[in-house]
Structure 1
Amino acid sequence: MTNQEILAQFGPREAMEYDVVVVGGGPGGLATAIRLKQLATEKGKDISVVVLEKGSEPGAHILSGAIMDPQALTELFPKWKEMGAPLNQPVTDDAWSFLGETSGFRTPNFLLPECAQNHGNYIISLGALTRWLAEQAENLGVEIFPGFAAAEVLYNDDGSVRGVATGNMGVGKDGEPTENFQLGMELLAKYTVFAEGARGHLGKQLIA
């Protein structure tokens, strides 16, 4: 069955309305949600923000180790050290080595270009940082829906984005609903932020 046929038979989908829907619970999406909540609080307002994350939990699909410049985190949370952010290992040395068949040599540090110097940066687990950011977001009142992938962009009649719909659950390999079928949900918002990463399929649709 096509999605339109499924909707005709089992619809309409349940809808929830928010001020902002963020698609993607990585560092970019979570930082966006956090900053929006901070700005609203500074102005004495309350806004509803929800983050959709396809992984079983924030950080589940982020396996990278990384070198992180903490400047952006400091702008978001000036007291991140006291708050327990998982930036524990500062970079202590940078090295470029040139290897031959039987030997190698290290480039003197004063010859390293500026882009290869990481003084003040940290060696981190990006997954651990993402989980920590999710905790801070929830502390600020952001709703996070893990295990829900945004599957469809929803449009207004004028072509503007009005939100997204999550994928249907319990559909067999043949495309037919099983006994565990559950219709996807519509999340509607004044603003929808697509933070799916470079391979996000909804972002690609919008760009096209």
Structure 2
Amino acid sequence: MPRNRPQSTWEPSQRDGRQMMADTLAQWRSLGPDADLWVFGYASLVWRPEFEAAEQRLAQVHGYHRCLNMYSRVNRGTPERPGLVFALMPGGSCTGMALRLPHDQVEATMPALWAREMPNPVYDPRWLLCRTAQGPVCALAFTLSPRSPNHTGPLSNAQYRDIFEHARGRYGTTLDYARQTLQGLRAHGIEDRALAKLLSIADDLP
């Protein structure tokens, strides 16, 4: 498994996204001359990956969990009324999908994947061990540090309700995004009870 390099700063304006991608590609190359790239999807990558995966496996990661605790000030909200997107954060475990990108497609596909996941270099790309029924794989995952300024910290049900009701960005509402993620997970046989419970506070919203 490639070494995960700790990031010295969590302020996006002080991080070099291109260098982070170059480092990630170098780490992938260190896996071997014919290594495919596995990517761990835990939210929209499950239901809208935007690249053709040669293989998909139900996968579990230990040490990280899926949570709706990352501010979105463009895609699902605005600077004046931030919305939320999912993050993979330390603690617990997470069931998602491991997506395999063939070796000969990695170099061409990575820039688009990076532009999607890291338009601002907020996430910390990490290599995580994914347990699958077919055996373990080492997968690239986009994680969020609790120290990131984009981390919301704990939110009350009233705060979530307000965001679900009002937050909208260029790609739609936070509520639609959260509902699509729950549906996408269920389509793959993944039941996220915490997310279902969170969304229940918005059952009466359109």
TM-score (norm 2): 0.24
Q: From the two aligned structures, give the one with the greater helix fraction.
A: 2
TM-score (norm 1): 0.24
Q: Which has the larger radius of gyration?
A: 1
Q: Which has the higher contact order (CA 8 A, sep 6+)?
A: 1
